[in-house]
Structure 1
Amino acid sequence: MQFSPGASCPEECRCDNSFVYCNERSLTSVPLGIQEGYKVLYLHNNQINNAGFPVELHNLASVEIVYLYGNQLDEFPINLPKNTRVLHLQENNIQTISRAALAQLTRLEELHLDDNSISTVGVEEGAFREAVSLKLLFLTKNHLSSVPIGLPEDLKELRLDENRIAVIAEEAFQNVTRLQRLLLDGNLLTDEGIAPGTFQDLVNLRELALARNSLTFPPPLLPSQSLVKLSLQENQIDQIPVAAFAPLNRLEKLDISSNQLQTLTQGVFDGLSSLLKHLMVRNNPWRCDCAV
């Protein structure tokens, strides 16, 4: 069905072609009267709280992209347009996410939740799995202490950087085998906090970022047939087992900068193929002498 923007536009907003501009107007709720036909709804930088979403908004079928960053939400909102594909909720104070809220958004593909106050206990188990079409999930700069349980199967990119994650359970990524990009920079991960085999079933993973953690050696059993980029800079790595990188025959970029490496075992890079283009080793306390 084809929609064309109606003549009516909420008086608080400005409507232009397929866009509704209600941003930066000190609104505390979503205005009534938005017509079918508009595809993009700008509601960012207001004072909208969780009570400010009228039921009629959910039935607005033409809206596909919603900007709600910089508001006063403390829970994941309900009654969002049912066909929303891209949702920006960053820079709120969201603390809880329920399964019911995400179950309303079966077409959601891209979800931005950066810069909120989401903790592990605030995410209902399996909540993200309810968003069955979700492919991109951004949770940078929250208060998570572990990876949320129950991620959607079609997920391709997951950003969990700048959280407080200290533990990754072996089953954390069990059902997300289509994942291509995983960012875990700036957490509290130690060698013991990453269960053996955590990453090995991610057979499509192309990028794994583990910078700014507290690892003392690279995680074992990395996905060997797909990994192209591996970031391990700014950890506490002081040794690299000779076979650590041997299976990674597609690796093109490896960063082990700013660790505690003084020496490297002979042959540690021998398994890396000619595909490797970038190897960063700067800012390590290298021992430059003739000792073997």
Structure 2
Amino acid sequence: MSSAALFPRARIPYGTWGSSYFPAWQTSALAEVNIGQFAGESMGRILGMRGVSQQELDYLVLGSTVPWHWKFWTAPMVASIMGHRIPGFHVEQACATGLQAVLMGAATVEAQSHDTVGVLTFDRTSDSPVGVFPERRAYERTQAIADVWDNFGFDPATGKAMISAAGLTARKYKLDRSETDEIAYLRHEQYFETKERGFLDRYMVPFDVLTVQGRPLGTVDDDVGVRPVSMGMLRGQRELDTCVTSGTQTHASDGMACLLVTTEE
């Protein structure tokens, strides 16, 4: 089978990417900040560490799913925080947001609209805002109230919670509980081995978080919430749905990540 490049003009320059650490929600100073501002400032610092001038960027693609203050302005807002005012675009598609943002950046380069595109993804699931949606068709215009938990509890493909969709998939493809336990155990082992070797330090950057008065609020320098597991612990977890346990799920977290998409030149 021959391979074909989806975006033959687009390249991701090696080593220009970076991210914060990703502490579990409600466990770090990121729970207290405007995540859009944090992401913009952090991307500016990462580009500086990689020796890339912000002036090289001519477009910015953002990816986020949880509303944040000033999200109305999306990419131009975050670009201004970086100190380099450029146009941009915002994309969100649940758990596929990161992938879609990179594809959007590559498509922009492929279309020859821009030559150097920054891709920045971020979210703060901690203390997510609550949305109130008046229902004009209902008696007395009842109000629907929604937050991030409502998104976790509704998968449009099934109309049920995400874990129900996972359980449905497990039953459809006749997966065994032991398989998901083994995969979860393997991924945890890989994570801690990689961390021990210092590989994560090549792209994950610790950041100090300040209050609006400029005083230290805390340092984000670890994936708080990721703990070593054993097969015995995983096998002892109660099933929430077919093949789904608290030990084989990921936790919601806060953080940011960025990379560049450019032409070959």
User: Do they fold alike, i.e. is TM over 0.5?
Assistant: no
Larger radius of gyration between Structure 1 and Structure 2: 1
- TM-score per shorter chain, which class? under 0.3
Structure 1 or 2: more strand by fraction: 2
TM-score (norm 2): 0.21
Structure 1 or 2: more helix by fraction: 2
